[in-house]
């Protein structure tokens, strides 16, 4: 088992991509802490894991509450052991449409769950990981990271912010033994996309979504789950701070392809035509 003896946190693990990541990491030997706001959902996933002979516990929490997250991480480490793997998967996408029409609170919530939630979890686990000189954190990027996402600006702002957050924090972890990555899971049919397909706002402002599914360009959530295991196992450590993409064949990346990504400074958030400014990054002044 690739993750035997590890303790993993997966946020947003009550359904969809997070559920599959939790199940896959448990199958690979990790003891998994399931975090989400809906207690019944994560308890059901914990029962699935235990039914397969794995070890998982449900911890209902609002990850945007830093005090709650810090207390919860302490409880997880008391019950399961030191946290060595984190997948920040929780996200929201409720504000669909022009910003002058959407509910401001919903727009901000889309950003907050992705960015503030990931920040809170990282802040809670990193001191312990750094002290132990080992750990792996995967932050979920996605739609809007690489380009404009009209009518989904809150979701896109959060996801693009996660890639910059990942690179910046990764650079600050240089030499610590802790690695941080971003991951794009690809287009996956989840409760989030079901909302886009069913809601009036989604049908009005995101009409292409239904066509994407009709064309079959979506991918199963198990691709992201498998990639999370490979990242956590150390296979992609040279790409720390960058984004891996489940739907683009990254499970089959060769060492030569990894070296080319680094040499060409790919899988990072950049402004076209401007060289990156990286104070404090390894290999720079």
| 6, 80 Cβ separation under 8 angstroms | no
| 166, 118 Cβ separation under 8 angstroms | no
DSSP string, 144-191: TSSS--TT-HHHHHHHHHHHHHHHHHHHHTTTTTEEEEEEE--S---H
Q: Which of 59, 151, 155, 205 is catalytic?
A: 155
User: Would you call 269 helix, strand, or coil by DSSP?
Assistant: coil
Q: Radius of gyration over alpha carbons of the chain, in Å?
A: 18
Residue 151 is among the residues annotated as catalytic for this protein = no
Rounded Cα distance between 78 and 73, Å, is: 9
- Residue 209 to residues 20, 148, 206, 225, 276, Cα–Cα distance (Å): 22, 15, 6, 23, 33
Number of Cβ atoms within 10 Å of the Cβ of 277? 7
DSSP string, 1-24: -TTTT-EEEEETTTSHHHHHHHHH
User: Which residues have a catalytic role annotated?
Assistant: 155
């Amino acid at each position: 088992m690739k993750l035997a003896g590890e303790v993993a946190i997966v946020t947003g693990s009550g359904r969809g991509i997070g559920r599959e990541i939790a199940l896959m990491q448990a199958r690979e030997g990790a003891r998994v802490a399931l975090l989400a706001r809906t207690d019944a959902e994560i308890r059901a996933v914990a029962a699935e894991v235990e039914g397969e002979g794995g070890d998982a516990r449900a911890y209902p929490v609002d990850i945007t509450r830093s005090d709650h997250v810090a207390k919860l991480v302490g409880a997880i480490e008391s019950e399961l052991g030191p946290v060595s793997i984190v997948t920040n998967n929780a996200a929201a996408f409720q504000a669909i449409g022009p910003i002058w029409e959407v509910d401001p609170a919903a727009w901000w919530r889309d950003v907050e769950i992705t960015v503030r939630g990931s920040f809170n979890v990282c802040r809670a686990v990193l001191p312990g990981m750094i002290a132990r000189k080992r750990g792996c954190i995967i932050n979920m990027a996605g739609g809007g990271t690489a380009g404009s996402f009209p009518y989904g600006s809150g979701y896109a702002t959060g996801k693009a912010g996660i890639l910059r957050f990942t690179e910046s924090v990764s650079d600050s972890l240089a030499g610590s033994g802790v690695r941080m990555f971003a991951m794009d899971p690809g287009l996956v049919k989840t409760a989030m996309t079901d909302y886009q397909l069913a809601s009036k706002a989604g049908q009005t402002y995101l009409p292409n979504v239904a066509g994407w599914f009709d064309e079959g360009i979506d991918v199963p959530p198990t691709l992201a789950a498998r990639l999370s295991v490979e990242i956590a196992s150390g296979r992609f450590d040279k790409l720390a701070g960058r984004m891996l993409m489940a739907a683009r064949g990254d499970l089959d990346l060769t060492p030569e392809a990894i070296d080319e990504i680094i040499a060409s400074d790919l899988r990072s958030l950049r402004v076209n035509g401007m060289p990156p400014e990286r104070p404090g990054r390894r290999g720079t002044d």
